Structure 1
């Protein structure tokens, strides 16, 4: 391997990120409605399910932050987060609050389980495990290091794609998993993978990405095969 290419790969290893990876189901569901869930959510007693085009949305992902083995900076003042999705279609190009909505709670006090509605996914509880070696994809890595010598060296290119870990499933933190192209890692908070067990799919085995700016505004993106 070319020494310049090896040096850039070594530099890239210095940019690996920590993340909390989700395991969907496979264990007895807890009685506590305020734990992390795929397909269930909680809220304040006066809150109802948000609506889109006259129909209630459903909770796609609930994250209890103190269960995370790794917490990104954007969630350090959040106790519980619930992402809602509409029942008719993926809200491509729609802003926060239209077809998708995230509610954040600074405390668990007073939160109760939200009513369940007919939805196309099967609910499962979530457990989390920490990794400290989540790597960016090809375009994301270009933002961190110069990959030109890697691109010119077949062994280095193989090492880039085979020698780093990139987690595609549901996770908090780390880097967004690239499918078609880079989506940018700035303000990235979490992603939701296509979870076969729950019957959830973004297009053809895709990933949904969620970003929170410094002013608290959320945005999302999606890629699939």
Structure 2
């Protein structure tokens, strides 16, 4: 391997990130509605389900932040959040609040289960696992390290793709798992994978990415095969 390429790979290893990985079910569902869930959510007593095109949206993912073994900086002041998705279609290119919505709560006090609604997912509680070796994919890595020498060295390129761990599925923190191209690392908070057990799919086995700007504004992106 080219010595310069080896240095570049070593530099990339200094930028591995921690993340909390979600596992759906596999244990007795808790009675507490404030825990992390796929397919269930809570809200304040006066809140109703958000709507899109005249139909109620459903809670796709609820994250109880205190349960996370790793918490990204953007969620330090959040106690719980609920991601809603509409029942009609993936809201590609739509802004926050149109076809998808994230509600954040700084406190758990007063939160109650939201009304049940027909939804295309099976509810499962979530268990979180911490990892500390999540690596960026090819395009994301170039935002961190100049990989020109790696790109020109076959052994180094093989080491890039085979010698690092990249976690797909649902996770909080870490790096976005690229499928087609880079989605950007700036403001990335969490991703929701295609969860077979839950019955949720983004296109063909894709991933939805969620970003939160310093001013609190959310945006999303999606890639699939």
**Same topology, TM > 0.5:** yes
CA offsets, 1:62-116, max 9 Å, x none? 0000000000010000000000000000000000000000000000000011111
Q: Could you tell me how far apart the structure 2 residues matched to 1:116 and 1:159 are?
A: 48
Q: Which residue pairs with 2:148 in the alignment? A: 148
Q: Could you tell me how far apart the structure 2 residues matched to 1:65 and 1:181 are?
A: 29
Q: TM-score, normalised by structure 1?
A: 0.99
Unaligned ranges ≥5, structure 2? none
Q: Could you tell me how far apart the structure 2 residues matched to 1:26 and 1:201 are?
A: 20
Output aligned runs, 1:42-191, within 5 Å.
42-191=42-191
Question: 1:40: how far off?
Answer: 0.3
Question: 1:146: how far off?
Answer: 1.1
Unaligned ranges ≥5, structure 1? none
Q: Which residue pairs with 1:210 in the alignment? A: 210
- Give the length in aligned residue pairs: 225
Q: TM-score, normalised by structure 2?
A: 0.99
Q: Could you tell me how far apart the structure 2 residues matched to 1:177 and 1:170 are?
A: 10
Question: 1:182: how far off?
Answer: 0.3
Q: Which residue pairs with 1:8 in the alignment? A: 8
Q: Which residue pairs with 2:18 in the alignment? A: 18
Q: Could you tell me how far apart the structure 1 residues matched to 2:151 and 2:116 are?
A: 50
Q: Could you tell me how far apart the structure 2 residues matched to 1:89 and 1:195 are?
A: 17
Q: Could you tell me how far apart the structure 1 residues matched to 2:118 and 2:16 are?
A: 40
> Over the residues paired in the alignment, what is the CA RMSD in angstroms?
0.5
Q: Could you tell me how far apart the structure 2 residues matched to 1:31 and 1:141 are?
A: 42
Question: 1:223: how far off?
Answer: 0.2
Question: 1:165: how far off?
Answer: 0.6
